[in-house]
Each structure stands twice: as C-alpha cells, then as structure tokens.
Structure 1
Amino acid sequence: MIKCGRPRKGEELLSRDRLLDTAFTLFLEFGYGNLSLETIARDARVSMRTIYNQFGGKAGLFGAVIRRCSDQFVTGLSEEYTLKSSPEEALVFFAKQFLYSITRPNAVRIRAILIGESLRFPDLATQFYEQGPQRTLDHLAQFFARQQKTGCFAEMEPRFLADQFLSALRNERFQKLQLGLEPTPDEAEIDVWVRQAIGFFLRGSLKNRRDGTNDIVDESSGRNH
C-alpha cells in the first residue's frame, strides 16, 4: 500500500539523523567551503528543499552538526565526576573524559575546519564557540563554584578557574596534535597528561593546608607531597 501525507515523527527523526550523519562525514572529508548542498542532499537521499526547510541552508546544517557533536560531548562529560570524594579525583575524572574527546581524530578535524573557515564564515565560529567550548566552560565553572562553597578552592572567579584549568589541559602537545605534528594519544598517555596538568593547576588554586602542603601525587615518583 502506498503511503501518502507527511511522514510519521519517528520517520522524520530517522531522516534527520541520517542527514546529520551524512553531513558530518562529508564535512570531515571535504571541509565546509568545498562541500555543496547538492552533494549532501544526494548522499543523504533527501531533497534540497528538506535541508532548507529544516536548517535554512548549509550554515544552519553545519551548525546543527556541531550542536549534535557538542551535545554528545557535554553528555559524555558525566556528572559522575561531581560525586568523587575529593576535588582532585573529580578533576582527574573530568579531565580524562575531556581530553579523550577533544584528541580524537574527528574532533581535531572539525576544529581545524572551523579555524580554517572562521574568517569567511564568522557565524560558524560563533556557533561552534557557543555550542562547544562555552558550554564546557560553563559546566566546569559551576563545579568550581560548588567546591568553593565547601572551602576547597581559593576565592577566585569560578569562570576564571575553569578557564585556567582547561588551558592547562590544552597545552603545547594539544597544539601540536592540532597541527598534525603529534599522534593521537592513547588512554595511558592521557592519564599522565591529565595528572601532570592537574598537579600543576592545584598547586596554584587549592587553599594551603596548615602544614603548607597539598596531597598531590608527583607523577615522576608516585609519592604524595
């Protein structure tokens, strides 16, 4: 029997997901400026009209792809880290998730596309920042604000603390990775990367104890200081 009329909601969602999946793959392969809507529509098996109706055009579609990646990333930053017994453990848990996500080849490629196209398409850069880095920063700033209420961290602007923490993670190695000068790190390498960055960060942001020390593990020796 031939079906007429509008597709059911479930079918619409499947069609949208297929379109976003296809667009994501094609953006990774061709970048933004070199990819046509016609190619996306053909590979996703949808009409150009569907893309315009749902997203308003290529920029809107790319923004939706970035938004979905961001949603998956932020969702992946499990709230489980907030349940850890100490701020050190919480930050280690968060940082491992964060670094693993941003160092995967697809994430590196999408970021490179944004950087390369940001001057020609500033709205895309704005969408990326608001939907990705800004949301992560907000998420982490809320954690620091809660921790400050318990007296764990010095009285600094929570957003500043979050920014400095993320900056400690996005170090020289990450910049080299972005330029293709560094291989994708495995989980063991990320563990060392995280603990070194957190050890340095906490020495500058945790309130000193009475004995003037912080219970931070020295990665090179494995001893507590």
Structure 2
Amino acid sequence: MIKCGRPRKGEESLSRDRLLDTAFKLFLEHGYGNFCLETVAKEARVSMRTIYSQFGGKAGLFGAVIKRCSDRFVTVLSEDNVLENQPDEALANFAKQYLQAITRPDAVRIRAILLGEALRFPDLATQFYEQGPQRTLLHLAQFFARQQQAGYFVAVDPHILADQFLGAFRSERFQKLQLGLAPTPDEAEIDVWARQTTSLFLQGCLKARVPAK
C-alpha cells in the first residue's frame, strides 16, 4: 500500500539532509552557473516544489549548504564551549576548528567557485557571505564582547577584534593553499598553526624592553 500524506518529522529531516548532500556534491562538480536544480531534485529524490518552498531557488539552496558547513564550527565559541577564565584556550580551540573547516579540499573548491562566479551571480556572493563569513564574524564578536565585560580584552570594537583574528588565518599560507601551491595541512600542522597564530594575536610581536640602568 502506498503511503499518503505529509512525511513524518524524521523523514523530512532525512530528505533535507539528502538534498543538501546532493546539492553540495553537484556544486563541487559543476560550479554554480552550470548547477541545475532539476538534476538536484532527481538525484535527491525530491520535487522541484520542495526545493522552491524550502529554499526559494538556487541561491537559497546554496546558502543552506554553506550554513550547514559553517554550523560545524561557528558554535565552538558558544557559552557552553567557552572555557571559563581561559579565553586564550577557547580562541585556540576555535582557530583549530576554523582552520580544519576552511582548509578542507571541498571548502577550498567552494571558495574557488565563489571567486570565479560571484560577479555574474551576486546572489551567490550574498548567500555565501551571510551564511558563512558573516555568521562566523558576528559569533566571534559576541565572544570578544563577553570577554571584554569579564575584563580579559581591551576596550576595542569587538567586531574589529574578530575581524583581525580571522584575518590572521586568511594569510599568505592560506592563499597558497587556495591556489593549489601548498598541500592540505594535517591535524598536527593545523594545531601548530592555530596555536602560534592565536598566541601572536593575543600577545603581539614586540619584546618587552628592559629599562636602561
């Protein structure tokens, strides 16, 4: 007997996950301009109506894909995960998660697609920025604001602190990775990268001068 009616909540969740998995795979294979919603619907075994009702179209679906990717690390600095009285360790842990996310080959590929097609598809750039970098920046700024209230950081705009911290990782090393001139770092390399950069951000690079006698 064929079941009728609305799918149950668990089935809806599985269907959405399958749809996002399929969309992510096809984005990597075909880019954005050649990405076809009909192909996504067929491979994910959902209707076009479902895609439009849930995401509004191709840009919205791409935004949902990016949001799910960023969800993996954007909450690392949530209240439950922040180490009380140890913001330096919290930032180092966040940095490690952040680097693991942005240096994955599929993440590098997505960024390359974005840079190549953003001018032709401004909705693509908007969805990527709002669901990825902007979410991360705002979440990190909230962390700095909380830690400023606790007396750990100087009274600088927390958004500037967040921007400077994230910018420290989008460095020459990351640019070489983006261009295919460097291999994907392993876990040990990422740990060193995260901790050294976090330490430099927190302490600066000037040595304390010994006053002349």
TM-score tier after normalising by the smaller chain length: 0.7 to 0.9
Q: Secondary structure at the match of 2:162?
A: helix
Match in the other structure for 1:59: 59
CA 1:67 to 1:6, structure 2 compared with 1: closer, same or farther past 3 Å? same
For 1:18 and 1:25, the matched residues in 2 are separated by 11
Which amino acid counterpart does residue 94 of structure 1 have in structure 2?
Answer: F
Aligned pairs for 1:41-190 within 5 A? 41-75=41-75, 79=79, 82-190=82-190
Q: Secondary structure at the match of 2:168?
A: helix
Q: Over residues 152-178 of structure 1, what are the superposed CA-to-partner deviations in whole Å (9 max), with x where a residue is unaligned?
A: 222211111111111112211111111
Stretches (4+) displaced over 3 A: 75-81
Which structure 2 residue ranges, 5 or more long, are not aligned?
Answer: none
Report the alpha carbon displacement of residue 78 of structure 1 after superposing the two structures with TM: 6.0
Report the alpha carbon displacement of residue 77 of structure 1 after superposing the two structures with TM: 5.4
Deviates more, 1:5-14 or 1:164-173: 5-14
> What value does the CA root-mean-square deviation take over the aligned residues?
2.4
For 1:128 and 1:17, the matched residues in 2 are separated by 19
Which structure 1 residue ranges, 5 or more long, are not aligned?
Answer: 206-211, 214-225
Which amino acid counterpart does residue 143 of structure 2 have in structure 1?
Answer: F
Q: Secondary structure at the match of 1:169?
A: coil
Which amino acid counterpart does residue 163 of structure 2 have in structure 1?
Answer: D
Deviates more, 1:146-155 or 1:164-173: 146-155
CA 1:35 to 1:89, structure 2 compared with 1: closer, same or farther past 3 Å? same
User: In 2, are the aligned partners of 1:81 and 1:94 still within 8 Å (CA)?
Assistant: no
Matched pairs, number: 209
Deviates more, 1:71-80 or 1:135-144: 71-80
Larger relative contact order (C-alpha < 8 A, sep ≥ 6)? 2
Match in the other structure for 2:9: 9
Identity of matched residues, %? 76
Q: Secondary structure at the match of 2:82?
A: helix
Q: Over residues 127-167 of structure 1, what are the superposed CA-to-partner deviations in whole Å (9 max), with x where a residue is unaligned?
A: 11111111111111122222222332222111111111111
For 1:56 and 1:145, the matched residues in 2 are separated by 35
Q: Over residues 193-220 of structure 1, what are the superposed CA-to-partner deviations in whole Å (9 max), with x where a residue is unaligned?
A: 1232123212249xxxxxx59xxxxxxx
Match in the other structure for 1:217: none
For 1:144 and 1:3, the matched residues in 2 are separated by 51
Q: Over residues 26-64 of structure 1, what are the superposed CA-to-partner deviations in whole Å (9 max), with x where a residue is unaligned?
A: 111111111212221221122323322332222222122
Deviates more, 1:5-14 or 1:28-37: 5-14
User: In 2, are the aligned partners of 1:41 and 1:51 still within 8 Å (CA)?
Assistant: yes
Normalised TM-score (structure 1): 0.82
